[in-house]
Amino acid sequence: MHFHQEDALFEIRSLNLKAARQILGNAIGKAPKDKIFKKYIEIELQLGNIDRCRKLYEKYLEWALENCYARSKYAELERSLSETERARAIFELAIAQPTLDMPELFWKAYIDFEISEGEFQRTRELYERLLDRTKHLKIWISYAQFEASTMEKDVRDSDLPEDEVQESLQY
């Protein structure tokens, strides 16, 4: 991999993107590795080639279906482009997989994504779906903390006078 990466970087410095892409594409075709995919995606992202990044992520995930890192980064890319529905679809496809290498981190990323989007009902549904799969105590605690924080937000956003807001938050 290191050899391919150095060759590709040399071609980029020589302003020969076609050759660099060919080197990296051949490396992926002959001996796909995480580092090659990551580097190639990084290069295309720096060049602003979003469609190529998407194609590379799709190839990456064909090669490593269970790879939560690649799926998270792909969803993160779509979110950074304000492509919320695309990001959500990536998360949904991932949790439908029978095996993931780090499912707990991926579910957390999906839940955090929905919270950041202000999609509290979707977040609740995700917690419920996750609890259908596992009854782990940490998930219950996280769910309770989420509900407490949304209640607090609802009270703060309400039209109640400030003294009633403070009184509500004490309970």
* Cα–Cα distance for residue pair 171/75, rounded to 1 Å: 38
Dihedral, CA of residue 41, residue 44, residue 46 and residue 48, to nearest 10: -130
SS3 49: coil
- If you write DSSP's letter for every residue of 64-126 in order, what string do you get? -TT-HHHHHHHHHHHHHTT-HHHHHHHHHHHHTSS--SSHHHHHHHHHHHHHHTT-HHHHHHH
pTM (two decimals):
0.78
pLDDT in tens, the chain (171 residues): 455 667 777 777 777 688 888 888 888 988 888 999 999 999 999 989 999 999 999 999 999 989 999 999 999 999 999 999 999 999 999 998 888 888 888 999 999 999 999 999 999 999 999 999 888 899 999 999 999 888 766 545 555 556 554 554 454
CA separation for the pair 50, 74 (Å, rounded): 11
Write down the pLDDT at residue 124: 95
In 10 A of CB 151, how many CB atoms?
13
Q: CB-based burial of residue 162 (10 Å sphere; 0-12 exposed, 13-18 middle, 19+ buried)? A: exposed
Q: What pLDDT score was predicted for residue 65?
A: 87
Residue 50, CA distances (Å) to 77, 82, 114 in order: 9, 13, 23
